[in-house]
Amino acid sequence: MTAEDFKGGQVLLIDKPLEWTSFQVVNKLRWHIRKRFDIKKIKVGHAGTLDPLATGLLIICTGKQTKNIETYQGQVKEYTGTITIGATTPSYDLETEIDHTFPVDHITEEQIHLTTKQFEGEIDQKPPIFSAIKKDGKRLYELARQGKTTEIKARKITISTFEITQIDGNNLDFRVVCSKGTYIRSLAHDFGIALNSGAHLTKLRRTKIGEYSVEKAQSIEGFINSLGME
């Protein structure tokens, strides 16, 4: 590809690695595109944040394609991962330490599968307090890390599929197909409550955004190599 190709607009499918922020991926790709083609300035953006502890499909738009980012953000998304029952964390995932533990002896496999049905369809969901949503000009996670509590309004989301694909002790593997704005961490937390216990997200991978699949995505290193760079 040429400099003009990237300026004209490209849609890049990247498999985000663990512990990278979506912003770091964008910066890395922008830097390499600019260096490879000696471009002073080029727009590069992502179509939907993935948490640092999540992996999987990140759609990166360059040049004129950045105008279409909202279109990609609005697509239906698919995730796989693991929910661990019997304990909660303030962030609803592994970013923070376990703060409470709960009994799980009363939970049966049948109950686990039946409870997923409560979350299918259009539901009200409260985002986690550790999220990038802004309130009074500050990100919620900034307030949460300062120990400040804030009231978060529930949002309407749609979950078309929520299935448990494997049960291994307290670890429940799942697949979710959902609308824009869905927080899988919140789903894990709320699922624990519905089981009269507690739960948190211990693994997350985004596998699809609309018609785009992570199976077609490149690693960051793969993309850099495709530019003819090491």
pLDDT of residue 34: 95
The mean pLDDT value for 86-110 works out to 95
8 Å CB contact between 189 and 89 = no
Per-residue model confidence as pLDDT tens digits over 177-214: 999 999 999 999 999 999 999 999 999 999 999 999 99
Per-residue model confidence as pLDDT tens digits over 117-165: 999 999 999 888 766 555 555 655 565 555 656 667 889 999 999 999 9
- The CA–CA distances, whole Å, from 190 to 49, 166, 199 equal 21, 19, 8
Q: Which residue has the higher pLDDT, 112 or 49?
A: 112
- Report the distance separating Cα 222 and Cα 122, nearest Å: 38
- Does residue 105 come out as left (phi exceeding 0), alpha (psi in the -120 to 50 range) or beta? alpha
CA 164 to chain centre: 18
Active site residues: 51
- Report the distance separating Cα 182 and Cα 226, nearest Å: 33
pLDDT of residue 153: 82
Neighbour-count burial of 10, counting CB atoms closer than 10 A to its CB (0-12 exposed, 13-18 middle, 19+ buried) = middle
pLDDT of residue 1: 85
Beta bridge partners of 44: 62
The owner of tokens 């509590």 is 149
pTM for the whole structure: 0.90
pLDDT of residue 139: 54
- Report the distance separating Cα 203 and Cα 186, nearest Å: 13
pLDDT of residue 104: 97
Average pLDDT, the chain: 91
Nearest to 54 by CA among 214, 223, 225: 214
pLDDT of residue 152: 74
Q: Is residue 54 pLDDT above 60, yes or no?
A: yes
pLDDT of residue 228: 82
The mean pLDDT value for 80-93 works out to 96
The mean pLDDT value for 15-22 works out to 96
